[in-house]
Amino acid sequence: MTSTLLNTIASPIDVKRLPSSQLPTLCSELREVILTTVAQNGGHLSSNLGVVELTVALHRAFDSPTDHILFDVGHQCYAHKLLTGRQQLFHTLRQYGGLSGFPKPGESAHDAFHAGHSSTAISAGVGIAVGNCLLQRPGYTVVVVGDGALTGGLAYEGLNNAAENGRLIVVLNDNDNSISRNVGSVARYLSKTTSKPIYFKIKDATRKAVQGVPLLGKPAYRLVSRTKRLAKDAMTNSNFFENFGFSYFGPIDGHDIKTMTDVFVRARSIGRPALVHVKTQKGRGVDYAERNPCRYHGVSTFDALTGKNAVKSDTFSDVFGRELTRLAAADGRIVAITAAMQEGLALDGFEAAFPTRFFDVGIAEQHAVTFAAGLASTGLRPCFAVYASFLQRAYDQLVHDVALPGLPVVFGIDRAGLVGEDGDTHQGLFDLSLLNHIPGMAIYTPADYAQLRQALGEAFAQQGPAAVRYPRGTESALPPGRAGDHMRHYGDGAAALTLLTYGRMTANCIEAMELLRREGRSAAVLSLQRVRPVDLEALAAWLPRDGSGSVLFVEEGLENGGVGQQLLLPMLRRGLCKAIDILAVEDRFVPQGRVDQLMTLCGLDAQGIADRARRMEGAP
């Protein structure tokens, strides 16, 4: 069905003009466009289906972009994009050169803050609200934060500094889910909170009645208010947020647009920070997403009618999860930790096999690393599995709590390298630059599933910290090659040009080598299965012994601080080659797009590698 009412919405002003009777139709059309687009392009489905009415209510109560609306993480901003002038481009969602799947200020004035990671929006919102006050600018700051994000400590740092800014409103979108099922005390607390919007109507009526009594009005109202607060706290424990200085509203039905709009308007008027607690259903309106919201949180392409994906092959994540479970069966000291990413990291099998040795700590990467350090100090062998882009949130803990005492914590770093359509906030390009210079850190970079299994076993045998990093998706078929010490050689022995690489780039380098060899050039590929430490003597055995060869280091990561820069100086000092160059991601953030498109963009496809090799040799 081609939407009709949605076609009339060019900006939030049009949302305000709609009569209430047309809002259910608008919400239905929003859901249809979101469903069909995500089915075709992939993306975040259930989280966006759950906030359709909430987004409509926000745009009826507030005036974007004068009022700043921030979405924590941002993976629930699709309806917001459709209502703020981007409907005609929505089919390009998550495509190269198209709309981002997350808020991007460069894309629209209605996107108040760049987002992609969890638990950041309250802190950013406090900064925006304070900044607008200091600069005497109008407008409210509205922060939409999920209950899952409240498992992250940064959210509380933001709440703690909200002070008395009366133009800050936090909307707690409580759907009992983040990516995996919410865990911990915060989730239990939210499930018990029972305030109702009718409370505020009674409060207003009480104030008017009591203040109307001559002489006794204000003192009597203050007494009633104190009594009310004591009773309310005793019944609902809602003082949790009020102790941060917020007026608490809720919980209210997150699919009742009129009630939410009324409460938002009320929250604007009170002159102090407000927290509006709404209850929504993740996956709302699509039966298979309602039944399994975690599965349809972030999805690749699928059939919109049935919800079924194409039959998929094993991925690096699947192999990692199974191998970790196999190793844990043989070693009772092994425990697994995740930060709310159980399904994405394929750890379901581990939890099923060893429920008492599996720990989901919520969206709390800093805590996860130090928790792992504590476990390791008792003699256990913890493995913290995490996406590369999320590990960067816990850098201090890596250095101070794990590496400094030399504790044997294994880090399973998923989505290492280019990840594709999730874009610049999720590209796994920073982990090696962060890990490379940490003393005592062993880093494994397997190129296929067999190497992944071997690397994980070796990592648990280390006496200090070890990282095993692997890409998103499936392995490439590699020729056998010749094995060395944590490295594998392909092509001519002691070739004039060696493409030195690791991980997934091995396949691209082999293809580039074949292009060069067809031109009569002497070329080889040396793939490192472990990039720290590297045995330079073992490496030298594959290069011309007189140092006359050239080396092009090809790296799916940042050049600045990457493996190539770490190896360049030691190799030159030892005279292992006459020339060395590095082909890696330059000093930039890489946008969204298919991985193959991004490889070409960065010059890391086979043709780009061959072109750099020719230029290095001074050839056309």
Catalytic residue numbers read: 282, 365, 393
Beta bridge partners of 146: 173
In this structure, the number of other CB atoms found within 10 A of the CB of residue 479 comes to 10
Strands 381-387 and 298-299, by their bridges, are unpaired
Please classify residue 153 by burial: count the beta carbons closer than 10 Å to its beta carbon, then call 0-12 exposed, 13-18 middle and 19+ buried.
middle
Q: If you write DSSP's letter for every residue of 490-514 in order, what string do you get?
A: EESTT-SEEEEEETTHHHHHHHHHH
Q: How far from the centroid of its chain's Cα atoms is residue 212's Cα?
A: 54
C-alpha span between 102 and 84 (Å, rounded): 14
Select from 362, 437, 439, 369 the least CA-distant residue to 401.
Answer: 369
For 249, phi and psi rounded to 5 degrees? -125, 120
C-alpha span between 553 and 501 (Å, rounded): 6
CA atoms within 13 A on the CB side of 516: 32
Contacts of 205 (CB under 8 A, 6+ apart): none
Query: Is the previous residue joined to 479 through a cis bond, with omega within 30 degrees of 0?
Result: no
The dihedral over CA atoms of 10, 16, 18, 21, expressed in degrees to the nearest 10, equals 140
Select from 111, 122, 79, 100 the least CA-distant residue to 255.
Answer: 79
Structure tokens at 367: 């805590």
Q: If you write DSSP's letter for every residue of 36-93 in order, what string do you get?
A: HHHHHH-EE-HHHHHTHHHHHHHHHHS-TTTSEEEESSSTT-HHHHHHTT-GGGGGGT
Select from 556, 460, 550 the least CA-distant residue to 508.
Answer: 556
